[in-house]
A and B are shown apart, each in its own frame.
Chain A
Amino acid sequence: MLDLACSDGQVKQGQALENSPLAIRGLTVSYGQKPAVFSVDMTVEAGKMTAIIGPNGAGKSTMLKAALGIVPPVSGQVQVFGKTLDAQRARIAYVPQRASVDWDFPTRVIDVVLMGLYRELGLLGRLRAKHRAKAIECLDRVGMGDFATRQIGQLSGGQQQRVFLARALAQGADLYLLDEPFAGVDAATEKAIISVLKSLREAGKTVVVVHHDLATVAEYFDNVFLINTRKVAEGTVAEAFTADTLQAAYGGRLATAQVDKLALAMG
């Protein structure tokens, strides 16, 4: 990695593993015979916004799910803030893909956000006015305060995504992991989400996003993790999001002209 890329003067390479909000070592995940993720190392930088990018089927979501214990890995270690995942679950908030749940489930918007308070409430803890107030506050932050008592099946795609983000906010975590939060949402929602994510970063939180829109990478994120089953590149946008790394990750699937345009856009 180039030294001059670290314009903010931070020495990333020397960052100890224990300080990383999410450190993945040798992670391999397999569906059937073929590995979806092969021997991947990742060290997420604290207080930054990191995009995980790569072509369709490159294992972006799978890597995230395996790191969180949602799908079982074949091998690999994961450390969250220097400890095991189980010890640090309270510090993690996860936003799954919107399409991964059945929005016909009989529940209201506020009930979904209240699920984010599970670790606070426990199995049988009583739901109090302060919990509801917190849920409303989180809905307000994503501009969904007026929808609290709405049935979730009545929401648009963008609204569903905002409700999921509100649920993550309710978790009060230090590390936010989002799987394709901008997929199929309207422009207003995209703006609202990115503004919330930036405010999280300003508050010192770490944000990791599985992202598919190469055009917005440089604008939204600090760091990039490029994957195509194996790790292709990792670093700041300037370091890891270059014509060469993109060509390596996407191969023929990304036209050269497109790569040049992206490189231009990044200045």
Chain B
Amino acid sequence: MSGEEFVPLSLTPLLIGIFAAVACALPGNFLLLRKQALIGDAISHVVLPGIVVAFLLTGAITAGPMMLGAAGAAVVAVVLIEAIRRLGRIEPGAAMGVVFTTMFAGGVLLLEQTDTSAVHLDVEHALYGNLESLIWLDAVGWSSLLDAQALAHLPVELPRMALTLLAVTLFIALFWRVLKISTFDEGFARTLGIRTNLLGLALVITAAVAAVAAFDAVGSIIVIAMFICPPAAARMMSNQLEGQVAWSVGFAVLSALLGYILAGYGPLWLGAQDAVSAAGMIATVSGVILAIAARFGPCRNRSGAPVGV
């Protein structure tokens, strides 16, 4: 494909897909090890009422208030999950299940009561995103990357997702040591003076921010898949946290690249007429990678794993 075609049509969706995948996979590593991997699923559901409420309050489909609403709902959910887990003394999975189904159901009711048919608040958009629409029409080729006027019309999702990825990366890098210690041994971490509750909350809020930004850009199906699949596959490739995180980034990038290409060209190669959803394909590819890692990964047989698996 020439630059004239690739840059305006494929470069920005590809980059946005990669940034979103990596931004979700990074915190996903820690969530997985803390047995909180479902939180990605929870967040992607609870943002619905947040978005609807933001729409009701502002009456407009503008990204700013909607993302604020989504982020607000995510934080409310995270706090609710923590509260239910502690006060109810039940396992985190159950607490998440209770909160996200309730909030999602509330969002559906709200949505039903609102006339949103004219706007793209529909389920399809929410689930699969609209990666293919994030094109850069002002670009004419690779030279546009140096053209200030063309750059000014980049899809806003690109810088937003890039900033989110930067923030997530900074958080993980800055708190790497304490995240590692408190994920492995929370009691010990507390005796060192590490404020593990606050750190755990910060991690989940970071994940929520990544999820909301990715949700807006590429849909929730990528969010759910990227929180779990690349880190879980990476765990079977390395017995060290550093290695696991590196592999998970690699798998996230690979899923985004391969998924985007397969969605665009796969059906054509098979003789079908239309391309399929890139977000759906990216999530599928990440699942296939997980399956391959589970079958062939060097670290898939561990003492903790059941015999014969």
B193 touching A119 by the CB < 8 A rule? yes
Chain B residues with CB under 8 Å of A70's CB are: 187, 190-191
Among the listed A106, A119, A154, which residue makes an inter-chain contact with B235, where contact means beta carbons less than 8 Å apart?
A106
Q: Is B36 an interface residue (CB 8 A)?
A: no
Residue pair B181, A115 in contact (C-beta under 8 Å): yes
Q: Which residues of B contact A115 (CB under 8 A)?
A: 180-181, 184-185, 188
- In the complex, whether B241 has a CB less than 8 A from a CB of chain A is yes
Main secondary structure of the interface of A (DSSP, over half): mixed
Q: Number of residues in A with C-beta < 8 Å to the partner? A: 31
Q: Give per-residue flags for B154-197: 1 if the beta carbon is below 8 A from chain A beta carbons, else 0.
A: 00000000000000000000110110110111011011111000
Interface residues on B, range: 20 to 34
- Partner among A32, A106, A118 whose Cβ is within 8 Å of the Cβ of B177: A118
Which chain A residues lie closer than 8 Å to B192 at the CB level?
89, 118-119
B286 CB-CB contact with A under 8 Å: no
Q: B174: which of A100, A107, A123 is its contact (CB, 8 Å)? A: A123
In the complex, which residue of chain B has the Cβ closest to the Cβ of A105?
B184
A106 and B239 contact, CB distance less than 8 A:
yes
- Please report the C-alpha to C-alpha distance between residue A40 and residue B302 in the assembled complex, in whole angstroms: 43
Expressed in whole angstroms, the Cα–Cα distance for A256 and B229 within the complex equals 58
Contact B235 A123 (CB under 8 A): no
Decide if B185 touches A96 in the complex (CB within 8 Å): yes
Which of B177, B178, B299 is most buried by chain A, counting CB atoms within 10 A of its CB?
B177
Are B187 and A153 in contact, CB atoms less than 8 angstroms apart? Answer: no
A16 within 8 Å of B by Cβ? Answer: no
Instruction: Report the separation of the CA atoms of residues A112 and B181 in the bound assembly, to the nearest whole angstrom.
Output: 8
Residues of B at under 8 Å CB distance from A? 33, 89, 174-175, 177-178, 180-181, 183-185, 187-188, 190-194, 235, 238-241, 243-244, 299, 302-305
A106 touches B191 (CB 8 A): no
* Contacting residues, chain A, for B304 (C-beta < 8 A): 102-104, 153
Choose among B178, B180, B188 the residue that contacts A94 (Cβ–Cβ < 8 A).
B188
Q: Is the CB of B184 within 8 A of A69?
A: no
A89 touches B191 (CB 8 A): yes
17 A-B pairs within 8 Å (CB atoms) are namely: A68-B190, A69-B190, A69-B191, A94-B187, A101-B184, A103-B304, A105-B183, A105-B184, A106-B238, A106-B243, A115-B180, A115-B184, A119-B192, A123-B174, A123-B177, A123-B178, A153-B302
Instruction: Point out which of B190, B192, B244 has the most chain A C-beta atoms below 10 A from its C-beta.
Output: B192
Closest to A125 in B: B177
How many Å from the CB of B257 to the closest CB on chain A? 25
